[in-house]
Amino acid sequence: MKKIAIFLGLVFMANQSIFAQFKKDPILNIQNEDKKFLNWGYYLGFNQYDFQFEYENDTATQNELTDILVDTSFGFNVGLIGEMRVNEFVDIRFEPGLLYSQRILGFPGFDAENDAIREVRSTYIRFPLLVKLSARRFGNWKPFVIGGGYASMNLGSNEDSLEDNSSGEFRMKKNVYGYELGFGIDFYTEYFKFTPSIRGVFALTDELVRDNDPNSPWTGNIAGMRTRGVFINFTFE
């Protein structure tokens, strides 16, 4: 809680400078910030990861009574930024980072809680390569959209485990690939550039490692399991 309070305090102080930038004819801050060929920074933020399931049965026969339930919670993100300027409106960004998330899965049809519930804790190292498309700078702020692909490694993966759900072990693949899309606003304060952004994250990889029994009540009816998530990032450059 102490770390979260310190982080929110830093964001609040940055926002005090930001609100001043919407005044008419503000004094332009760090005017050469976006003229550098290479730029560096870091980001902190929050995430909420979910799963999207596809089932072997026809969707007409699949209903909310047989769907796997996902209870999501907030995780955190932290990482570095390397940016290469292409021109005034286009930048290429590499944003390697560490992400932690926790999800609880509820499987229908079981009476015992230890069979019906699986807790999934994941720690990902992510390697996104993104294109940032910015509008023209307005005073001390500039909106943008951003998108690209990523590769990630799940440090909490148990892909090689010989045990499966029959022993209480829910298995996921180690390597995940996908794409992310988002938008945000660059705010130019007196000393640094502060950027809040919202990202949507969409995995293309089926992350599920199926049970040894092809008719498993946990994984037998799953055709695909892919991560969907939302990031709220705060960048300092």
Q: Can you give the pLDDT of all 237 residues of the chain as single tens digits? A: 544 454 445 444 544 444 444 455 668 888 888 888 999 999 999 999 999 999 987 554 455 557 889 998 899 999 999 999 999 899 999 999 999 999 999 998 888 888 899 999 999 999 999 999 999 999 899 999 999 999 999 998 889 888 999 888 999 999 999 999 999 999 999 899 999 999 999 999 999 999 999 999 999 889 999 999 999 999 999
What pTM was computed for the model? 0.81
Token code pair at residue 142: 């500039």
Token code pair at residue 176: 């995940």
Single-letter amino acid code for the residue at 102: Q
- Domain covering 39-236 in this structure, CATH number: 2.40.160.20
For the four alpha carbons of 210, 215, 219 and 225, in that order, the dihedral sign comes to: positive
Euclidean distance between CA atoms 201 and 224, whole angstroms: 17
